[in-house]
Structures are given as C-alpha cells and as structure tokens.
C-alpha cells in the first residue's frame, strides 16, 4: 500500500469510524473504490515495489468485527 498524506488521513478516518462503531457493538464496514469503479479513494497508478508484479486494486472493503460476530464465524483472533 502506497499512501500520501491525504491517503493516510482518509485511511485513519475510515479506521476511526470502524473503531467508533465497534465501541457501540456494531459490525461496520467501509468501501474504498478506484475511479474506474465509481470512487476516488484508490489510485490505479502502476507504482510497484521493483518486481512489476503488483496489480491495481479497484475495491477495498474494510470490516470491523465484534466478539459475537468473530465467534459466530470462527474468526481466529490469535496473533502469532
């Protein structure tokens, strides 16, 4: 993921929204789209990490899971 200052601000805003909704025991999600998919949040420029194997992402969906939802769907919350 490559971000400029505006992109960092947008990502933080989306994550803060999800954090707020999780504190209300809600299971929020957020969508970010490229202009080709009707949005403005994602760029499709071909910036790569040197191996030219990356592909543009047109849709990013960020989910927030509360404990009930995570348990219901078998989400492994362990960090290794």
pLDDT at residue 28, as a whole number: 93
Gap between the Cα atoms of 62 and 15, Å rounded = 8
Q: Is the pLDDT of residue 53 over 90?
A: no
Gap between the Cα atoms of 53 and 17, Å rounded = 32
Q: What is the DSSP secondary structure assignment for residue 16, as one 8-state letter?
A: H
pLDDT at residue 51, as a whole number: 66
Report whether 2 contacts 46 (CB < 8 A): no
Domain boundaries of the chain, sorted by first residue: 5-44+57-72
| 3-class SS of residue 12 | helix
Among 55, 69, 57, 60, smallest CA distance to 22 is for 69
pLDDT tens column, 3-45:
889 999 999 999 999 999 999 999 999 999 999 999 989 888 7
Q: Is the pLDDT of residue 75 over 70?
A: yes
50: confidence class by pLDDT, cuts 50, 70, 90: low
pLDDT at residue 47, as a whole number: 65
């Amino acid at each position: 993921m490559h971000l400029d200052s505006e992109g960092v601000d947008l990502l933080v805003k989306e994550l803060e929204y999800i954090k707020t909704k999780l504190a209300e025991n809600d299971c929020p999600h957020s969508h970010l789209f490229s202009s080709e998919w009707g949005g403005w949040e994602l760029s499709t420029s071909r910036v790569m990490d040197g191996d030219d194997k990356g592909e543009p992402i047109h849709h990013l969906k960020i989910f927030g899971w509360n404990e009930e939802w995570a348990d219901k769907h078998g989400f492994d919350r362990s960090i290794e």
